[in-house]
Structure 1
Amino acid sequence: MSYVCKYGRRDLSISFTCNTKWYAIAKEHMPGQSADDRVDLIARVCYLKLGKLMDLISKSQVFGAVCCHMNTIEWQKRGQRHAHIIIWLCDKIGGTEIDHLISAEIPYPSADSELYETLTTNMIHGPCGSHCNYTSCPISDGKCTRQYPRDFVSETITGSDGYPLYRRRSSAEGGFTAVVKGHQVDNRWVAPYSPLQTKAFNAHINVEY
């Protein structure tokens, strides 16, 4: 609250989840071991990766100059260690700049195959609810409580609740699709992300304006 009083509302909320398939973790497994057997290693690598991510944000200023930031690391029984990060930027992000920093669309594999592979592995929600049997998120009346799949949106619109409706083009408008867990998914299932960070860290990094 002290940060809010001094710098105003936060500009970016980021969640960063550890990827147990990182080479730094996988190469240390003994024969027959899985990531669940090396929680000590997961914790250490995740902490180091988080430090690199924060350097990318605060020192390299990929989103612009940072006035202040804070983060906390959580460990959930149903998922991997992850961090919640809040960023206050010196220069506020304008509505027309959101698309340059955050995307909620599947990239064309021919344009960037590495980003496409990383995104379809880490940044597709579910699919869940009545669309398939995948139930890692809360379901109510057969619908995802996290509001996926989202609606198609031709252009990013700043929302009245502070969260924008990110651009999610349909196939008819040039949007791309992918097969995830045996299901055909489109841009309605993509969690908002920063292409640079997702590609650099090969992990689930959800970025919200």
Structure 2
Amino acid sequence: MCILPATFTGSPRYMHARTQDAMTYVRKYGRPDLFITFTCNPKWYAIAKELMPGQSAYDRPDLIARVYHLKLAKVMDVMTKGQVFGAVCCRMHTIEWQKRDLPHAHILIWLCDKIEATEIYHLISAEIPDPSADPELYEIVITNMIHGPCGSHYNYTSCHNSDGKCTWQYPRDFIVRRLSSIPFYLSIYLSIYLSIYLSIYLSTDICT
């Protein structure tokens, strides 16, 4: 019988040790302030330019993994050293792989200064930008952060359940005023700065 120690990456003991480390963060610093999801985009130029004729990004998991690792490192650097949301006390993340062979990271951020309720909409937004006022951000949101196509005319999509309805409950009703407990129509909460600076799919939620 061979017992893999906690120093062996991916072993049961390794995963258990990482779980204990994560719970130590919570015991010491309390609940996290931000929950961020950063998803790989197969259309990134760094991926597309390396593909051979006839290849798609899904044919090159090695390329996807390398580019995503570099992008994730840049995201972490911007959030921690750049202090986009303020000084970071500590952070943790885990990387998962989607059914389409695309990695995505779930990131928890603890801030040194807690976010006040009045500051939430200065940090994140779920509004579709005005294309005339900010065409760059509008293009990023429409291309990367809108769920769909979905609805009664697209019941063959993977998000539909056996009843023909979207499992994520899209499309949703538009609302006139901001309510943090009600999701917006088709858009996902985003950090405007990170979306423009990195041109990426990155949803940002406030932990409450």
Flag whether TM exceeds 0.5 (same fold).
Answer: yes
Read off the aligned partner of 2:110 and give its amino acid letter.
Answer: W
Distance across 2 between alignment mates of 1:80 and 1:94: 34
Moved more, 133-142 or 74-83: 133-142
* 1:112 maps to 2:134: yes
* 1:191 maps to 2:188: yes
Moved more, 29-38 or 107-116: 29-38
* 1:47 maps to 2:69: yes
Q: Which runs of 5+ in 2 are unaligned?
A: 1-22
Distance across 1 between alignment mates of 2:25 and 2:160: 32
* 1:201 maps to 2:198: yes
Quote the sequence identity (%): 64
Read off the aligned partner of 1:109 and give its amino acid letter.
Answer: P
TM, length-normalised to structure 1:
0.80
CA contact (8 A) 1:67 1:89 kept: yes
Q: Which runs of 5+ in 1 are unaligned?
A: 159-163, 169-187
Q: Do the aligned partners of residues 12 and 140 (structure 1) sit closer, same or farther apart at CA in structure 2, a change above 3 Å counting?
A: farther
Distance across 2 between alignment mates of 1:67 and 1:101: 18
CA contact (8 A) 1:115 1:195 kept: yes
Instruction: Quote the RMSD (CA, aligned, Å).
Output: 1.9
Deviation at 1:196, TM superposition (A): 1.3
Equivalence for 2:5:
none
Q: Choose the corresponding residue for 2:48, options 22, 26, 33.
A: 26
CA contact (8 A) 2:34 2:109 kept: yes
After superposition, residues 36-185 of structure 1 pair within 5 angstroms as: 36-130=58-152, 132-133=154-155, 135-139=157-161, 141-158=163-180, 164-165=181-182, 168=184
Distance across 2 between alignment mates of 1:30 and 1:60: 36
Deviation at 1:154, TM superposition (A): 3.3
CA contact (8 A) 1:109 1:116 kept: yes
Distance across 1 between alignment mates of 2:150 and 2:202: 20
- 1:38-93 deviations in whole A, cap 9, x for unaligned? 11111000000000000111110101111111011111223511111111111111
CA contact (8 A) 2:140 2:199 kept: yes
Equivalence for 1:175:
none
Read off the aligned partner of 2:79 and give its amino acid letter.
Answer: I
Question: Any idea what SS the aligned residue of 1:165 has?
Answer: coil
